[in-house]
Structure 1
Amino acid sequence: MKHLGILAHSTEGAALSFLSFCQEGFQRLGEHDHPDVTLDYIPFGRSMPAWDTGDHDAVRKTLAVSVDRLARAGADFFICPDNTAHLALGRPGPALALPGLHIAEVVAEQAARDGRTRVGVLGTSYTMDGPLYPRALGSHGIAAEIPDPEDRRLINEIIFSELVNGIFTAESRAAYVEIIKRLAARGCDAVALVCTEIPLLIKPADSPLPTLDSTRLLSTAAYDVATGLRPFPTWYGGSPTTP
């Protein structure tokens, strides 16, 4: 089995990814068993000034340090359970020290398998306004739909003031559900929860639309790579269509 490296960029999402990966092993391999896994986390706050100024190249350099450390720890490949971080990982630059799975590609593959045609996208403002999901979903002929500006503002505010800090309230859950209802009214047949903390707030039973849980989908895909059930990744940063 291959050794997974988890490149953490926000606390709650990385923790959920770690737990989900290990739980896949418990379910498929047996009690207390899973492929080797190492998590590396440079505090999120060190990258926030660069995010605020749009300096994705600076964020990429910080993330690359984590990938280097994962490689030195013996990891064979990596995942980053943070959708927004892929805006930086996708920037041109030196090849990362390990190959990785691209989270938006994993989500888009599942949407295609499910036969989706129009997917609502819920994440940080960086992710909702950025090219990740229009590109990844579009490559499968699936339209990406984002909430209206005021809904995007509210989603982003709840993520950064609550979810990344481990705060999950009934009021915020109800607000997200109303936003998903509005996406359903606009013709969406699924909603992608593409801030890795959102699945901790919105469970499938809460959502008016079928959900695409980016955190758990990525962890499952990583497990499949580690156990030889999925092809070994060839993405070393930059555009996900090229190594």
Structure 2
Amino acid sequence: MNLLGMIGGTSWHSTIEYYRLLNELVGAKIGTQQNPPLLLYSLNVQLMRENDAEKIKNAYLGIAKKLETAGVKAVIICANTPHMVFDFVQPKLNIPILHIADAIAKEAKQKGFKKLGLLGTKPTMLGNFLSGRLREEHQIETLIPGDSYIDKTHRFISEELTQGKFTDKAKNFYLEQMQILKEQGAEAIILGCTELPMLIKENDTEIPLLDTTSLHAKMATEFILKD
């Protein structure tokens, strides 16, 4: 099996989900008597709260370089928002970063989805690192909540979900946003924050959901087991 480097901590709640899924998915392929070789670097989530783009990019580069030096064959960033560093970090590595947007696109294409609603943090919804890659690399369009809902969509994540608080108020808000995006033409919804799948389950809505945590872990599993 290939040694995988994991950059987690944003938040530790979703990092645990990644670790669990990777072990379960690999075990389902090769038997539970084995588990995958993983090297985890869990950073302090305060880094992201400082909103210093240069500091964030250089921190992720330093961590990725440490993992590369330690012998990992690929890196997975265990959250959506930190993929903002991808274009800065990837060219400076000799190993691949497994991009979460590529995992989303693979599932969307298999199901024939070409227009997706996107829920996540403010940087994820307004930035180009996820929607841009989906559009330019995979010809998939994304829709986001209206301007009056962007801050609230972000606030529930930053103030509640990343701190392990999962409330009915937050759940109902996101379900309402999903319905609005569906009415605007979204064929499925990207749960573009790795805590959102912990709040919203498939049986909570009739709208198809793309669980980025699960899809990203599946991509990583394929890499771990690749010859």
Normalization by structure 1: what TM-score? 0.86
Deviation string, structure 1 residues 130-164 (Cα, Å, up to 9, x no partner): 11233222232221100112222111111011111
Q: Which amino acid aligns with 1:215?
A: T
| Larger relative helix fraction | 2
Report 1:131-150 matches (<5 A).
131-138=128-135, 139-150=137-148
Preserved contact between residue 48 and residue 56 of structure 2 (Cα < 8 Å) = yes
- Residue of structure 1 equivalent to 2:113: 116
Normalization by structure 2: what TM-score? 0.92
Query: Within the alignment, does 1:62 sit opposite 2:59 as a pair?
Result: yes
Query: Within the alignment, does 1:159 sit opposite 2:160 as a pair?
Result: no
Query: Within the alignment, does 1:20 sit opposite 2:18 as a pair?
Result: no
Shift in Å at residue 32 of structure 1? 4.3
Give the superposed CA RMSD.
1.8
Report 1:2-17 matches (<5 A).
2-10=2-10, 11-17=12-18
Preserved contact between residue 133 and residue 144 of structure 1 (Cα < 8 Å) = no
Deviation string, structure 1 residues 193-232 (Cα, Å, up to 9, x no partner): 1111111111111134111111111111101011017xxx
Unmatched 5+ stretches in structure 2: none
Preserved contact between residue 60 and residue 89 of structure 2 (Cα < 8 Å) = no
Deviation string, structure 1 residues 84-107 (Cα, Å, up to 9, x no partner): 111123237861363211111221
Report 1:83-232 matches (<5 A).
83-91=80-88, 95-96=92-93, 98-138=95-135, 139-228=137-226
Deviation string, structure 1 residues 39-60 (Cα, Å, up to 9, x no partner): 10120103422x2xxx423211
**In structure 2, the residue corresponding to 1:34 is in which secondary structure?**
coil
Shift in Å at residue 25 of structure 1? 1.8
User: 4+ runs of 1 displaced by more than 3 Å?
Assistant: none
Q: What is the alpha-carbon distance in structure 1 between the residues aligned to residue 149 and residue 168 of structure 2? A: 17
Unmatched 5+ stretches in structure 1: 230-243
Q: What is the alpha-carbon distance in structure 1 between the residues aligned to residue 162 and residue 214 of structure 2? A: 17
Moved more, 29-38 or 164-173: 29-38
Identity %: 28
